[in-house]
Amino acid sequence: MRIGYVRCSTEEQNEARQLKMLEEQKVEKIFLDKASGKNTNRAAFQDMMAFVRAGDMVIVESISRIARNTRNLLSIVSDLTAKEVEFVSLKENIDTTTPQGRFMLTVFGALAELERENILERQREGIAIAKGEGKYKGRKPIAVEEELFKAVCAQWRAGEITATAAMKKLGLKPNTFYRRVKEMQL
């Protein structure tokens, strides 16, 4: 079976280009994720890996759609190979059924990882420059009334509510909640 895998990093990104390429490849089933490629904790990816079986072929638009670093890419391809599933990347023209294809997969995987690192470095540099010019101040802090925060923390410390319930009452994520607890020494 010819199986397509499509991934966009955010809900706002459009997968139409990837879907068109896979349609041209006459894929029979498509798995689509709208999630970061930083790891393999993606619902459709996990579903695809559970679905594939010997003789299938997984086709992607480019290797960056299935993995963001060489280690993950090689691990994914190794898992597919163990299941006797072929892997094809259209952009890089990689076919893992040949020794040359496996070699090129490693090279392109390393290049994709390098490009991702370069993007992150440029992003960090841009933020540093913007901060220096006073144009970037980060996220606006979440406003929580201090007395409310103290009251909810008192309930949590007394064991009346769980930390999760306290976070829910305050509308805070765990890292923000615990950081504020530490800052306020509660």
The residues, any chain, with a CB within 8 Å of residue 69's CB and separated by 6 or more, are 109, 112, 113, 116
User: For residue 32, is pLDDT > 90?
Assistant: yes
The DSSP bridge partners found for residue 34 are: 8
User: For residue 142, is pLDDT > 80?
Assistant: no
Is 9 tagged catalytic? yes
Q: How far apart are CA 64 and CA 36, in angstroms?
A: 11
CATH code: domain 2-116 is 3.40.50.1390
User: For residue 145, is pLDDT > 90?
Assistant: no
In the set 9, 36, 62, 75, the catalytic residue is 9
Instruction: Calculate the dihedral angle through the C-alpha atoms of 44, 50, 51, 57, rounding to the nearest 10 degrees.
Output: 90
Q: How far apart are CA 15 and CA 27, in angstroms?
A: 15
At 13, list the tokens.
């990104």
Give the residue-averaged pLDDT of 48-62.
Answer: 95
pLDDT per residue as tens digits for the range 151-167 = 999 999 999 999 999 99
pLDDT per residue as tens digits for the range 77-128 = 889 989 999 999 998 888 887 888 878 878 877 887 788 889 889 999 999 9
Using DSSP, state whether 28 is helix, strand or coil.
coil
